[in-house]
Amino acid sequence: MTLLDDVSLIEVSESRGYGGLNENHFTVLDQKETVSRFEEITEETVAVKQDIDVNGTKPDYDLLVRYENGETNGLQWKMDGESSRLTYAGHESEAYELNAEETNQLLDMLE
């Protein structure tokens, strides 16, 4: 997964569905160590093209990634057993797979 710039913070909300982002954030990840670890995890992921039927399903979380240069990215995070996947909002057919360890590290950031 390619990030646009250095991340300044990540706003996290419960997802309402694929395509758009819920702007009612329940937490903001802005501590330097947390943001750095998020960058490491996401940059290590590899894109996997998937034929995903997203009808009737929804991601668990929406992530609004804010960069130091002022740009933003919308990501959607779907749990899948012990692993999970990230997609860019509106681009569900290309998922970035996270293994169980990476998934748990991201979940720990939300606590």
18-27, 37-46, 72-81, 96-105: least confident range = 37-46
Beta carbons within 10 angstroms of residue 75's beta carbon: 21
Is there a contact between 20 and 89 (Cβ–Cβ < 8 Å)? Answer: yes
Please report which confidence band the pLDDT of residue 1 belongs to, taking 50, 70 and 90 as the band edges.
Answer: confident
Plot region of 90 (φ>0 → left; ψ -120 to 50 → alpha; else → beta): left
Give the global pTM.
0.89
Specify the pLDDT at position 94. 80
Q: Is 13 helix (H, G, I), strand (E, B) or coil?
A: strand
- Strand, helix or coil at 58? coil
